[in-house]
Chains A and B, each alone.
Chain A
Amino acid sequence: MSSATEIAAAIRAGQQTAVETLEKSYSSIAARDEEINSFLHLTKSRAQAQAAVIDAKVAAGEDPGPLAGVPVAIKDNMCTRGEPTTCSSKILEGWRPPYDATVIGRLEAAGAVIVGKTNLDEFAMGSSTENSAFGPTRNPHDTTRVPGGSSGGSAAAVAAEFVPLSLGSDTGGSIRQPAALCGVVGVKPTYGAVSRYGLIAFASSLDQIGPFAANVTDAALCLDVISGHDAQDATSIPEALAPTLPSLNDGVAGMRIAVIEELVGEGIDDDVCARTNEAADALAAAGATVERVSIPATIYGLAAYYLIAPAEASSNLARFDGVRYGQRVDGENVAAMNVATRSAGFGDEVKRRIMLGTYALSSGYYDAYYGKAQRVRTLIANEFAAAYENFDLLLSPTSPSTAFEIGAKSDPMALYMCDVCTIPSNLAGHPAISVPFGFGDDGLPVGVQVLAPMLDEAKMFRAAKVLEGAAPIPKAGA
């Protein structure tokens, strides 16, 4: 499939229609998604109507926008009016939101066509998309392997070339890690740069929506469309994010970039470390000064994250009580109904995190767990801020390993370790991007991560673009 940039250009120029583009997308999904399981639901009639509107606009001489006719897949934790939105959970099976998430409106206003909703780890809790009530998604590069997670469906849909663009959400790495494992580009923007309105919350202070794309330019194009202040999200930053597209090809000459020392050693596979060092060399070759920096608090990120995120989740997920929407399992009174509904509706990992979070917030334990985790969070943010006094950007692997076998990591702790490189950006609220950079010893894609200070996405994209040019983009199309 062509890139989003090419598709939009062709449709705007009248060389191709949105309707035929959509048909192509759906036929590729029909051909291979039974195997991949990236989509939970296709929003066909809505997509066809939107495609027809785009074509009519072109015919009328109007510009449908920068994403004219581009098929986009949406992680199924973002609300789509009248269309199923499940978070891959039985507890929301059958629920159709009465409203669209802000990002959906922005995409459609830019001409994009929403083709369907993608699979995820239930409520975005996981790193493999195995924790879905509707079955695991498979990695298009090797279908015995996981695509990463939690936005595994959105990553796989781009890697399998079903769509050129998709949206994911990233709470501790849920966009970047699957992007790395599926050999695509994934962006976690600055916290507050993209509206969370309509994103079903996992951990509100960490969640951020961002794009997946097959290349850096498409990711920049999509981010520029979905970012911007939203009055419906009180955590939305007031200033608009500087557009990333105009400076995309400005290179990294003169930039000071550092590899995070703690993330290229113990606990990270050798082949992944090697690709990361090669990426550093590529940036140096393009004119950047590349050094190493130690950010010691990085290693505490995982522990802090697995207290803060479950704590917020325990509160955010309380509303799934069977009273107003979704699944209900009756009981002899309201409390019994609540318990029966939640026991039947949530999967094990969700229950595990609700219990963890409930415990971390409990009176008598709050200071030792949640309170201390918040202090670690501040420490990490401060150490990153200090590093950014000396460096424009930081570099690290995205994931400690390439894609692993489905079922290989049955121990929750082993899975939690997948997020060690990505979590610090969420805790600090900073942006980061994962770019494919070569392959591991197993021939599977490796991703490297470029990290930037708050609101410095434009600079981050310039480095990503340089890396993209220095390594082949992996192909997993059928």
Chain B
Amino acid sequence: MSDPLDGWEIVIGLEVHVELATKTKLFCGCANMFGDEPNTNICPTCLGLPGSLPVPNAQAIDFAMKLGRALNCTVSPSIFARKNYFYPDMPKDFQTTQYEEPTNENGYVLLPDGMSIGVERAHIEEDTGKSTHLGEGGRIHDATATLVDYNRAGVPLVEIVSRPEMHSADVARAYVAELREILLATGVSDARMEEGSMRVDANVSVRPAGSDELRTRCEVKNINSLRSLGRAINYEARRHVDLWTNGEEPKQETRHWDEDGGRSTSGRSKEDADDYRYFACPDLPPLHPTQADIDAIDAAMPALPAGRRTALAAAAGVDVCDTTLTVERGLDDLVIAAIEAGADPVEAMKHADQNLSDGQGQLSVESFVALLAMDADGQLSSTQVKTVLGELVATGGAPADVAATMGFEAMNTSELENLLDGIIAESPDEWTRFVEGDRKVQGFFVGKIMKATQGNADGKVVNQLMTQKASGEHL
């Protein structure tokens, strides 16, 4: 079966809306809190009552600039604009946003595989309220009634607009995953797609492979997870290819992703789209960040995922793309410190990736290094290492103490040798095959020893003993 996308290239640009984790809303003092009783965090300003006025929240502006710098954007003087259209969950029937002069422009996001995705702009705007449409379809067109919760109205958002530089669902997912890491690292958002604090709209079009034209695009909304993002992009791309192949063409429109149905459905057509009549908001003076403001943000910037991956790759002597998991889990500092304290880089990375999926917990660098040494010396079996590591993460302490408490006294080599001799005596045929070079029977002996010791023997040591013994008999 040939891929229907053969001969075509997907063109993807993403618009990612991020709710900033500020204490209060963008233009009033109401709490910015997800999940409260509906319509409790409201005031005249965020309800858009007649006579109310907006006052910018300094923390929101600061977070937005911090995010801009983390996305390698230029931070410039900016203007709030009004985007005018009617919608019941938008209290003023205009959205305060930034249009011609956004706070952040011309940045990029560096993906783990080294690809750079351009960020056109990252502007500040206010969120709308949340509508719940009662009725079968769950959409405004066929609703029997609509309930509106204005708690979300006025929550600060940054809309990150990528350039249309992604050409596969995987890259789009990697870009969003990387954005999420940047948001968490900077602390400006909790970036939860399922709670809507990070919302992704995908602009998708296709073109013949090798062409650089931009064909009609559709904006797919209601994407609630990375998985949905990939599915929605691929569905939409195939739909476009089918249309072009049949001599038709897609209509420029907003489409709604239906996760259960695995398809996108037509929403608002862009042909009769609103004219938003943008103009500078007369209630809000322009923002004029000084160079000192920007320098202060840069100076306080925490290490960001791309830099951390590079540092870890250098310390561990691995490829940058092999550091993603470790950095995502926040274990890069631990691994680098362990390596600096003498731990084997490969072992340190291996344990971080395989045995520390829940993070570092109470595990100290010293204990991690000591445990890796005990492992290398064969003092503990690999099962025991895992168990001890789990205990160190949960409660801390030194690995030797933990191993002792758990009764993991390392079985010494002479005890193991005696045990092995006994098994060899019981199974002379298997031993002969091993001595003659049949390595497949090795597992037979290791298994017997593990059974006899209830897993407390170190498999590596057993292997060494068998090899020594066999080579001795050979001589």
A contacts, CB < 8 Å to B: 77-79, 85, 87, 92, 95, 97-99, 101, 196-201, 203-205, 231-235, 311-312, 314-315, 318-321, 323-325, 334-335, 338, 358, 361-363, 366, 370
Neighbouring A residues of B277 by C-beta, 8 Å = 314-315, 358, 361-363, 366
For B51, B56, B278, B285, the residue with the greatest tally of chain A CB atoms inside 10 Å of its CB is: B51
Q: Is B428 an interface residue (CB 8 A)?
A: no
Neighbouring B residues of A95 by C-beta, 8 Å = 50
- How far is B84's CA from A204's CA once the two chains are assembled, in angstroms? 15
Residues of B435-468 contacting chain A, CB below 8 A: none
Neighbouring A residues of B82 by C-beta, 8 Å = 315
B86 touches A318 (CB 8 A): yes
B contacts, CB < 8 Å to A: 44, 47-56, 82, 84, 86, 88, 91-94, 140, 146, 148, 275, 277-279, 282-285
- How far is B92's CA from A233's CA once the two chains are assembled, in angstroms? 17
Neighbouring A residues of B140 by C-beta, 8 Å = 334
Given contacts A232-B55, A319-B50, contact A363 B275 (CB under 8 A): yes
A318 touches B285 (CB 8 A): no
Partner of B282, one of A87, A204, A231, A335: A204
B55 touches A234 (CB 8 A): yes
Closest to B284 in A: A234
- How far is B278's CA from A363's CA once the two chains are assembled, in angstroms? 9
Neighbouring A residues of B49 by C-beta, 8 Å = 79, 97-99, 324-325
- How far is B44's CA from A477's CA once the two chains are assembled, in angstroms? 40
Neighbouring A residues of B278 by C-beta, 8 Å = 361
Partner of B44, one of A78, A98, A234, A315: A98
B282 touches A233 (CB 8 A): no
Neighbouring B residues of A311 by C-beta, 8 Å = 279
B283 touches A235 (CB 8 A): yes
Partner of A318, one of B55, B93, B146, B284: B93
Neighbouring B residues of A321 by C-beta, 8 Å = 86, 88, 93
Minimum CB–CB distance from A309 to chain B (whole Å) comes to 11
Partner of B93, one of A197, A319, A325, A361: A319
Minimum CB–CB distance from B44 to chain A (whole Å) comes to 5
A197 touches B282 (CB 8 A): no
Closest 5 CB pairs of A and B: A318-B93, A205-B282, A361-B277, A204-B282, A200-B50
- How far is B51's CA from A233's CA once the two chains are assembled, in angstroms? 11
Neighbouring B residues of A362 by C-beta, 8 Å = 275, 277
Minimum CB–CB distance from B124 to chain A (whole Å) comes to 14
A233 touches B86 (CB 8 A): no
Closest to B29 in A: A232
B44 touches A99 (CB 8 A): yes
B285 touches A235 (CB 8 A): yes
A198 touches B51 (CB 8 A): yes
A338 touches B86 (CB 8 A): yes
Partner of B55, one of A198, A231, A314, A335: A231
B51 touches A323 (CB 8 A): no
- How far is B467's CA from A226's CA once the two chains are assembled, in angstroms? 96
Given contacts A205-B282, A234-B283, A363-B275, contact A78 B51 (CB under 8 A): yes
Neighbouring A residues of B283 by C-beta, 8 Å = 201, 204, 234-235
Given contacts A311-B279, A334-B146, contact A199 B51 (CB under 8 A): yes
Minimum CB–CB distance from A64 to chain B (whole Å) comes to 27
B52 touches A361 (CB 8 A): no
For A98, A312, A323, A363, the residue with the greatest tally of chain B CB atoms inside 10 Å of its CB is: A323
Neighbouring B residues of A234 by C-beta, 8 Å = 53-56, 283-285
- How far is B53's CA from A231's CA once the two chains are assembled, in angstroms? 10
- How far is B278's CA from A201's CA once the two chains are assembled, in angstroms? 18
A sample of 11 inter-chain contacts (CB < 8 A) reads A85-B50, A97-B49, A99-B44, A199-B51, A201-B50, A232-B53, A233-B55, A235-B284, A318-B94, A324-B91, A361-B277
Neighbouring B residues of A200 by C-beta, 8 Å = 50-51
Partner of B51, one of A97, A312, A363: A97
Partner of A79, one of B48, B51, B56, B88: B51
Sample of 6 more A-B contacts, CB < 8 Å, known A77-B51, A79-B49, A321-B93: A79-B51, A98-B44, A99-B51, A205-B282, A234-B55, A318-B84
A315 touches B50 (CB 8 A): no
- How far is B82's CA from A312's CA once the two chains are assembled, in angstroms? 10
Minimum CB–CB distance from B78 to chain A (whole Å) comes to 14
Partner of A323, one of B53, B56, B88, B275: B88
Neighbouring B residues of A370 by C-beta, 8 Å = 279
- How far is B50's CA from A204's CA once the two chains are assembled, in angstroms? 12
Closest to B285 in A: A234
- How far is B48's CA from A83's CA once the two chains are assembled, in angstroms? 18
Minimum CB–CB distance from B53 to chain A (whole Å) comes to 5
Neighbouring B residues of A205 by C-beta, 8 Å = 282
- How far is B279's CA from A201's CA once the two chains are assembled, in angstroms? 16
B146 touches A196 (CB 8 A): no
- How far is B86's CA from A232's CA once the two chains are assembled, in angstroms? 26
Partner of B88, one of A85, A312, A334: A334
Neighbouring B residues of A85 by C-beta, 8 Å = 50-51
Neighbouring A residues of B50 by C-beta, 8 Å = 79, 85, 87, 92, 95, 97, 200-201, 319-320, 325
Closest to B148 in A: A323
A319 touches B51 (CB 8 A): no
- How far is B44's CA from A381's CA once the two chains are assembled, in angstroms? 33
- How far is B274's CA from A362's CA once the two chains are assembled, in angstroms? 10
B92 touches A197 (CB 8 A): no
Closest to B89 in A: A323
Minimum CB–CB distance from A474 to chain B (whole Å) comes to 33
Given contacts A197-B53, A323-B88, A325-B49, contact A315 B94 (CB under 8 A): yes
- How far is B145's CA from A323's CA once the two chains are assembled, in angstroms? 13
Neighbouring B residues of A77 by C-beta, 8 Å = 51
- How far is B93's CA from A358's CA once the two chains are assembled, in angstroms? 14
Given contacts A361-B277, A361-B279, A362-B275, contact A319 B53 (CB under 8 A): no
- How far is B54's CA from A196's CA once the two chains are assembled, in angstroms? 11
B51 touches A201 (CB 8 A): yes
- How far is B284's CA from A268's CA once the two chains are assembled, in angstroms? 37
- How far is B277's CA from A361's CA once the two chains are assembled, in angstroms? 5
Neighbouring B residues of A99 by C-beta, 8 Å = 44, 49, 51
- How far is B275's CA from A363's CA once the two chains are assembled, in angstroms? 7
Closest to A370 in B: B279
Minimum CB–CB distance from A262 to chain B (whole Å) comes to 27
Neighbouring B residues of A325 by C-beta, 8 Å = 49-50
B48 touches A319 (CB 8 A): yes
Neighbouring B residues of A323 by C-beta, 8 Å = 88, 148
Given contacts A98-B44, A199-B51, A200-B50, contact A335 B86 (CB under 8 A): yes
- How far is B222's CA from A314's CA once the two chains are assembled, in angstroms? 31
Minimum CB–CB distance from A375 to chain B (whole Å) comes to 13
Closest to A197 in B: B53
Neighbouring B residues of A196 by C-beta, 8 Å = 53
Neighbouring A residues of B55 by C-beta, 8 Å = 231-234
Minimum CB–CB distance from A141 to chain B (whole Å) comes to 32
- How far is B28's CA from A232's CA once the two chains are assembled, in angstroms? 9
- How far is B275's CA from A464's CA once the two chains are assembled, in angstroms? 47
A319 touches B284 (CB 8 A): no
Minimum CB–CB distance from B266 to chain A (whole Å) comes to 18
Closest to A100 in B: B51
For B47, B49, B94, the residue with the greatest tally of chain A CB atoms inside 10 Å of its CB is: B49
Minimum CB–CB distance from A370 to chain B (whole Å) comes to 6
Closest to B82 in A: A315
Closest to B54 in A: A234
Neighbouring B residues of A318 by C-beta, 8 Å = 84, 86, 92-94
Closest to A361 in B: B277
- How far is B140's CA from A338's CA once the two chains are assembled, in angstroms? 15
Minimum CB–CB distance from A98 to chain B (whole Å) comes to 7
Minimum CB–CB distance from B333 to chain A (whole Å) comes to 42
For B48, B86, B146, B282, the residue with the greatest tally of chain A CB atoms inside 10 Å of its CB is: B282
Minimum CB–CB distance from B50 to chain A (whole Å) comes to 4
Neighbouring B residues of A312 by C-beta, 8 Å = 279, 282
- How far is B283's CA from A358's CA once the two chains are assembled, in angstroms? 18
- How far is B283's CA from A203's CA once the two chains are assembled, in angstroms? 10
